[in-house]
């Protein structure tokens, strides 16, 4: 039966680090086919030919939260995947891209501070659900954009096949992906 437990976990070494280092976004239609999931672990082993756009948030301003939504009365289970990040400096180019993100149906890749990459919105896509453009009241206040993108999925986000940060750039092990701006 597919919903039986298969393994347990012991307490691991305390060496993790939280936060989002980068958010990379692709057009959902470019990923409707061509994603290959690996053997027994389910990691993403292959991605289709596509360009993904890299957004580097302010330090300690990017986050990823996945919430399990289970209803015992109706027998439903889903996963809400939420990505938030902040980037600064108001200008026309960023305004135009903020508008594009607001309108788009997207695939989102999250690169965490410990260099894991997760795929968000693989089934249904992700969309902007909240955002602000602000210039604050004080000189030290944010002048920039805050973005929240949400996906509602039937299963949790999946990890991409790991890359070696000492010798490879992110997505270097996915030959068909172009990252813009490049590393």
Summarize pLDDT for 31-41 with one digit per residue, the tens: 999 999 986 78
Handedness of CA 18, 58, 96, 147 (dihedral sign): positive
pLDDT the model gives residue 63: 96
Rg of the chain in Å (alpha carbons): 18
What does the alpha-carbon distance between residue 50 and residue 24 come to, in Å, rounded to a whole number? 12
CA–CA separation, 45 and 139 (whole Å): 46
Q: Residue 73 contacts by C-beta under 8 Å, 6 or more apart in sequence?
A: none
CA distance 122 to 115: 20
- Phi and psi at residue 31, in whole multiples of 5°? -120, 15
Q: pTM for the full model?
A: 0.91
Residue 2 pLDDT grade (very low, low, confident, very high; cuts 50, 70, 90):
low
Distance separating alpha carbons of residues 23 and 63, to the nearest angstrom: 10
Binning pLDDT at 50, 70 and 90, where does residue 175 land? Answer: very high
Are the C-beta atoms of residues 20 and 83 closer than 8 Å to each other?
A: yes
CA distance 34 to 83: 24
Per cent of the chain over pLDDT 90 is: 84
Question: What are the tens digits of pLDDT across the range 111-146?
Answer: 999 999 999 999 999 999 999 999 989 999 999 999
Q: For residue 150, what are its two tokens?
A: 């949400």
Locate 159 and state its tokens.
């990890």
Q: How high is the pLDDT of residue 15? A: 75
Q: Is the pLDDT of residue 1 over 70?
A: no
């Amino acid at each position: 039966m597919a919903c039986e437990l298969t393994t347990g976990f012991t307490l691991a070494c305390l060496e993790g680090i939280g936060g989002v280092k980068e958010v990379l976004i692709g057009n959902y239609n470019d990923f409707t086919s061509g994603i290959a999931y690996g053997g027994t672990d389910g990691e993403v082993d292959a991605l289709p030919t596509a360009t993904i756009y890299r957004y580097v948030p302010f330090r300690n301003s990017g986050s990823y939260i996945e919430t399990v939504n289970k209803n015992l009365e109706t027998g439903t289970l889903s996963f809400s995947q939420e990505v938030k990040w902040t980037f600064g400096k108001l200008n026309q180019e960023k305004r135009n891209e903020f508008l594009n993100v607001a309108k788009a149906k997207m695939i989102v890749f999250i690169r965490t501070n410990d260099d894991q990459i997760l795929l968000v919105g693989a089934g249904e896509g992700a969309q902007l659900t909240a955002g602000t453009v602000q210039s604050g009241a004080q000189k030290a206040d944010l002048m920039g954009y805050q973005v929240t993108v949400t996906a509602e999925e039937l299963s949790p986000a999946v990890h991409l096949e790991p890359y070696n940060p000492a010798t490879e750039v992110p997505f270097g092990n996915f030959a068909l992906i172009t990252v813009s701006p490049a590393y």
